[in-house]
Amino acid sequence: MADTSSLDALIQALRRLPGVGQKSAQRMAFHLLQHDRAGAQLLSQALAQAAGNVRHCRRCHTFTEGELCEVCQDATRDVTRLCVVETPADQAAMERTGAFKGLYFVLMGRLSPLDGVGPRDIGMQELLARAESEGVQEVILATSFTAEGEATAHALSELLARRGVRTTRLARGVPVGSELEYVDLGTIAHALADRR
């Protein structure tokens, strides 16, 4: 396939996707070119648009296309409760429970020294400033119950305690070792009620 530089370039580009190796990339490229060119064009456009339009909410750091995300713009939310989650997917899981009416701070990651992810990468300073300045009475640490999620929650709880901010953690109803977005909604709702 030496004369198919567009095909080779596509296979290499598909390998930028997480979890996609050479064989998967070949299969994806073959599928799109042989069976779904419309899908290839659609994905091309969706990538360009998302990469161009999606940015971070100024307040909570989640993905949004405006200055502020919908939740942060919603005046009916309880500003005294701030829920800290790792990713927009985790936030969406929490929202689907319907059990939380407060606001969020989305870390867009978690502390991971081995991967070079430090306090700055998760917006820790902005989170601390926000927890202190906006009448927040409780910060719910809803990071994952993985080693890194726990370490992130621990570091945040210590820093917030020093500033006199009350923190809680989701109850351990959430299975240890799992990530929030994969947990069933009832368990999340229960863990929220039992927060300590």
Among 87, 144, 152, 167, binds a copy of itself (CB under 8 A): 87
Separation of alpha carbons 175 and 188, rounded Å: 10
Report angle CA 53, 54, 59 to the nearest 5 degrees: 130
Report angle CA 137, 138, 139 to the nearest 5 degrees: 135
* Shortest CB 4 distance to a copy of itself, Å: 5
Alpha helices (H) in the chain, listed in sequence order: 5-14, 22-35, 37-53, 70-73, 88-97, 124-133, 147-162, 185-193
Q: Is 72 in the site for Zn ion (CB under 5 A)?
A: yes
Within residues 18-37, the interface with a copy of itself by CB under 8 A covers 18-19, 23-24, 26-34, 36-37
Within residues 33-62, the interface with Zn ion by CB under 5 A covers 57, 59-60
Pick the piece of the chain touching a copy of itself (CB under 8 A) from 6-14, 132-140, 143-151, 167-175.
6-14
Separation of alpha carbons 114 and 126, rounded Å: 23
Q: Read off the amino acid at residue 121.
A: D
- Which stretches of the chain bind Zn ion, using CB under 5 A? 57, 59-60, 69, 72
Q: Residue numbers of the site for a copy of itself (CB under 8 A)?
A: 1-7, 9-10, 12-14, 16-19, 23-24, 26-34, 36-37, 39-54, 62-66, 69-70, 87-89, 91-92, 108-109, 181-182
